[in-house]
Amino acid sequence: AQRVTQPEKLLSVFKGAPVELKCNYSYSGSPELFWYVQYSRQRLQLLLRHISRESIKGFTADLNKGETSFHLKKPFAQEEDSAMYYCALGGYNTDKLIFGTGTRLQVFP
Amino acid sequence: DTAVSQTPKYLVTQMGNDKSIKCEQNLGHDTMYWYKQDSKKFLKIMFSYNNKELIINETVPNRFSPKSPDKAHLNLHINSLELGDSAVYFCASSQDGSGSKSPLHFGNGTRLTVT
């Protein structure tokens, strides 16, 4: 089964605090994992993907196949990081990209 | 030079009406998609087309009919609208034939409200 889980609907932190948005997946094959972000009144856009192994806007995510996780992390949150974050799962055995239920990140000043 | 554009941005209509949402992409991508985002922000794929051919057709009522006149356009027609159809509908495109590996480029969404 192809499934992605984001256990937190809402994550609230203060500016400067570390952030970790959790994502777990279930997939029988080689997964492709993505994080998408939707800022207020803007379109959904790609933040990063696991094969790129890059840091975007200070965010990183490491694919942990043992724990079937792809958590999104940032050491110091900024107010402009406040947005809706979606973890998405695809792979070589599927045509579908499915999304988790999303986590709303609120960063307070 | 908008990459993926949808019209209209807002659509308010009454139950039982028929409406269409249009989508166009100028990225030269082969594959286009429709996703539905419900009131809880849950995002679910509805359809995908690769070069005008239907690839994915999720469990969607047959009142929803996608139409792809060419690979740059994917329209969504909805018949006999119901209250439960109220949602934000997102069009997206990807470079190759599988959105499961390539990043998706999304439109701004169409907020449909059925009264």
**What's the pLDDT tens digit per position in A8-38?**
999 999 999 999 999 999 998 888 899 999 9
Amino acid code (one letter) for A61: A
Chain A residues with CB inside 8 Å of B23's CB? none
**What's the pLDDT tens digit per position in A47-67?**
999 888 788 899 999 899 999
Q: Residues A11, A21, A96, B31: what is their CA dihedral angle, to the nearest 10 degrees?
A: 90
Higher pLDDT, A41 or B34: B34
- Cα separation values, A47 from A31, A54, B9, B64, Å: 17, 10, 24, 30
**What's the pLDDT tens digit per position in B37-90?**
988 888 899 988 888 888 877 878 889 999 999 989 999 999 999 999 999 999
Mean pLDDT along residues B22-50: 91
User: Do residue A99 and residue B43 have CB atoms under 8 angstroms apart?
Assistant: yes
Task: Using CA coordinates, name the residue in chain A closest to B98.
Answer: A95
Chain A residues with CB inside 8 Å of B104's CB? 36, 44, 46, 97
pLDDT for position B99: 58
pLDDT band at residue A81 using 50, 70 and 90 as cut-offs: very high
Partner B, chain A 44-83, Cβ-Cβ below 8 Å: 44-46, 49
A79 to chain B nearest CA, in Å? Answer: 21
User: Do residue A86 and residue B43 have CB atoms under 8 angstroms apart?
Assistant: yes
- Cα separation values, A41 from A44, A108, B106, Å: 10, 19, 13
Minimal Cβ distance to B45: which of A44, A86, A98? A98
Half-sphere exposure of B59 (CA within 13 A, CB side): 0
How does A94-108 read in b/e, with b if 16+ C-beta sit within 10 Å? bbbbbbbbbbbbebe
pLDDT for position B100: 67
A31 touching chain B per CB within 8 A: no
Q: Does residue B107 contact residue B23 with C-beta atoms inside 8 Å?
A: yes
A90 touching chain B per CB within 8 A: yes
Task: Using CA coordinates, name the residue in chain A closest to B31.
Answer: A95
User: Do residue B55 and residue A95 have CB atoms under 8 angstroms apart?
Assistant: yes
| Tokens (6 digits) for A86 | 């979606």
Task: Using CA coordinates, name the residue in chain B closest to A84.
Answer: B41
User: Do residue B98 and residue A95 have CB atoms under 8 angstroms apart?
Assistant: yes
pLDDT for position B19: 97
Chain A residues with CB inside 8 Å of B108's CB? 42-43
User: Do residue A43 and residue B107 have CB atoms under 8 angstroms apart?
Assistant: yes
Q: What is the rounded distance in angstroms from the CA atom of residue B45 to the CA atom of residue B80?
A: 21
Higher pLDDT, B98 or A9: A9
